Structure 1
């Protein structure tokens, strides 16, 4: 099996909310697999994670909208239409468009033509992150160019996509990996060949985290001068349930002293307003987006992590949020909801507390229990650290992925401080 030369298709690059993708790309680089990144969008975040500075592969930005770069799209079409797979790609796109008559569907075909026309001739495989729009562009381009393609699916891309769309993509691709057991079970019901779908946890690169757990003060919420610090990290979007969390915090007893810190992108105005209406604004610290070093530092200095994830009406939901694994690796007990793959990491009463989604009363009860019992928090945090180190190493999954790309002995470490995780890129 020859080593692949990859075109990695992503929604946008770099993105603060997609550390797991950057981590995987760096792992591909460290394994000596040639690659380039193809991004459907330009970056919008003002900050970058340090890991992005270590990624040295070329980045190609496709036209976000055809009208913005009409000559580039025209040149792409003139070249793509001469490719052997162009007619089949057009027929497949037209079948898709008849069922999904949206500008988005048309835009993805224009991007695929540009990608097919501009991709270097030595690319041997297209690999898409997310089963919705990036996989559409990857699929159309792969058909035009006559290339094999594969996909990594996550959460929103699965549960907000139409079954017919995923079923036909699964038929055309070589294989798909996804980051939770729940996703695997669902996608295998759609695949003609269920063996195409496999589990691949994102996992964490332990070398970027302190090896020793912090010696946290045993705060119990009784001292107004020394409140329990509650941390949450996530974008301010509906599926993260921050309105539920604020309502739960407001239900905590008046004599219980706490401080809430939020890290993440998105508009915070409505949440600040809700906190004010609930009378807890003075206890809430909205820090906005931060890079991974700052997130780890916040985990190290906090007492408790909370994430009130929920399933939205359109099916959008979290899979297994990396921030939960990061918090656990830092020895933080966690309170979260029993949806999606969160129970694959959190075991109620062992390394955290699980409550039903959209239930501020149950969330408040769980928070009160762990806030007032620092010994329990400490034990849960240590258990969480052990569970993540045992079951969620990035390198275990990276070795499997490297094998799929034709590398039999990938030069990646095991995440320990002494492992070699800084191999040179092979470009």
Structure 2
């Protein structure tokens, strides 16, 4: 029987932008599952969410770059070399390297050697969050240690990975879960057996996002003294479509009173601020940077409209179902977004939100103007969205599903 202690491999930890992962880890711990977190990168965010401090699992960091810890790598390689699994893992790595001759691929195998050599005591299972780099390290480690592994796939990892890489991982993992129907359908098409893939929405910890009982003022954009507040939360990266959103804001009628607040980090922030200056809307924008969860919750409650212009990036990267949309909807906040990937699984146009095509500033501007001018519409769709979230997106359902999947595997090994 395999130990029920799970090693969870993540890309970086803790990360402000990956609350859904931390929420899941805490949920599994509360469900009685012992975890060890293994991160490929050290944290870069200056803040933490409260959920990170509630997780009891110890965190183990692998070398982010192999050349920075050569002795650790050599010691690990010497430890793993005599083991039966070394030849199997090396064979898989060499096959992968022929198709993907990159330093990143070499780094993944080196990190797997370190994890296999420094294996946490009593751990008997591997689980990866993201089907790209973390899953590669996890797969090689499973071969080195002769242990089973599973995976949670999300968005970028699915859509920017090569099909051969995903197919290989699906064939060796016991199962893989993903959080949107689009991702589920794609993975299922690559899997040798459809039972290996499961759809599991992250959901939301509704205890942290309690009902908003306040009343939002019926501002309609007609008064400069009482502008309508538009909020967006997300990293400033291509797939979030913030350039499209800024262009849409610039297209709004000049007499319409609005303010825009953005919360989040990201490497495109400076470029977006420059674009806002160029468009002449910079005075109406407040850039908050990365914030902790309690501060973001306050922004949801203070806002009148939530906007997120999701798109498919040039490299195929896209969101699954952005957690921030679920969070905003839980606070009775009307959401205006795009019909990309998993967004329509949360928002139905005209019923629980407004959806427009991606990369269409004019369509987005029309939707925003409509919501700015009609506070009753904001109230109606915001209330409907909240009911939908609290009925269908409680994270306890996802935690229960994951626990059941793990329990089935453990029972099978008895």
Rounded to whole Å, the distance in 2 between the matches of 1:343 and 1:16 is: 25
| Offset from partner CA, 1:167-197 (integer Å, 9 cap, x none) | 0000000000000111111100000011100
Q: Partner of 1:275 in structure 2? A: 276
Q: Partner of 2:67 in structure 1? A: 67
Rounded to whole Å, the distance in 2 between the matches of 1:218 and 1:363 is: 21
| Offset from partner CA, 1:384-426 (integer Å, 9 cap, x none) | 0000011111001101111222299xxxxxxxxxxxxxxxxxx
- CA RMSD in angstroms, aligned pairs only: 1.2
**Structure 1 runs not aligned, ≥5 long:** 409-427
Q: Give the C-alpha shift of residue 122 in structure 1.
A: 1.2
Q: Partner of 1:102 in structure 2? A: 102
Rounded to whole Å, the distance in 1 between the matches of 2:4 and 2:408 is: 8
Rounded to whole Å, the distance in 2 between the matches of 1:114 and 1:294 is: 38
Q: Partner of 1:202 in structure 2? A: 202
Q: Partner of 1:421 in structure 2? A: none
Rounded to whole Å, the distance in 2 between the matches of 1:326 and 1:99 is: 40
User: Scaled by the length of structure 2, what TM-score is found?
Assistant: 0.97
SS of the residue corresponding to residue 84 of structure 2 reads: coil
Q: Give the C-alpha shift of residue 3 in structure 1.
A: 6.6
Q: Are the aligned partners of 1:3 and 1:407 in contact in 2 as well (CA < 8 Å)?
A: no
Residue 349 of structure 2 is aligned to residue 357 of structure 1: no
Q: Are the aligned partners of 1:160 and 1:315 in contact in 2 as well (CA < 8 Å)?
A: yes
Rounded to whole Å, the distance in 2 between the matches of 1:157 and 1:7 is: 20
| Offset from partner CA, 1:34-57 (integer Å, 9 cap, x none) | 110000000000011111011111
* Highest RCO, 1 vs 2 (Cα 8 Å, sep ≥ 6): 1
SS of the residue corresponding to residue 185 of structure 1 reads: helix
SS of the residue corresponding to residue 207 of structure 1 reads: coil
Q: Greater CA deviation, 281-290 or 117-126?
A: 117-126
Q: Give the C-alpha shift of residue 321 in structure 1.
A: 0.2
**Which ranges of 4 or more aligned residues in structure 1 deviate by more than 6 Å?**
none
Rounded to whole Å, the distance in 1 between the matches of 2:394 and 2:263 is: 24
Q: Give the C-alpha shift of residue 121 in structure 1.
A: 4.0
| Offset from partner CA, 1:190-228 (integer Å, 9 cap, x none) | 000111000010000100023243211011100100000
Q: Give the C-alpha shift of residue 331 in structure 1.
A: 0.5
Q: Partner of 2:81 in structure 1? A: 81
Q: Are the aligned partners of 1:238 and 1:312 in contact in 2 as well (CA < 8 Å)?
A: yes
Q: Are the aligned partners of 1:213 and 1:331 in contact in 2 as well (CA < 8 Å)?
A: no
User: Scaled by the length of structure 1, what TM-score is found?
Assistant: 0.94
**Structure 2 runs not aligned, ≥5 long:** 410-414
Q: Partner of 2:16 in structure 1? A: 16
Q: Are the aligned partners of 1:3 and 1:33 in contact in 2 as well (CA < 8 Å)?
A: no
SS of the residue corresponding to residue 195 of structure 2 reads: helix
Rounded to whole Å, the distance in 1 between the matches of 2:260 and 2:198 is: 38
Rounded to whole Å, the distance in 2 between the matches of 1:245 and 1:82 is: 56
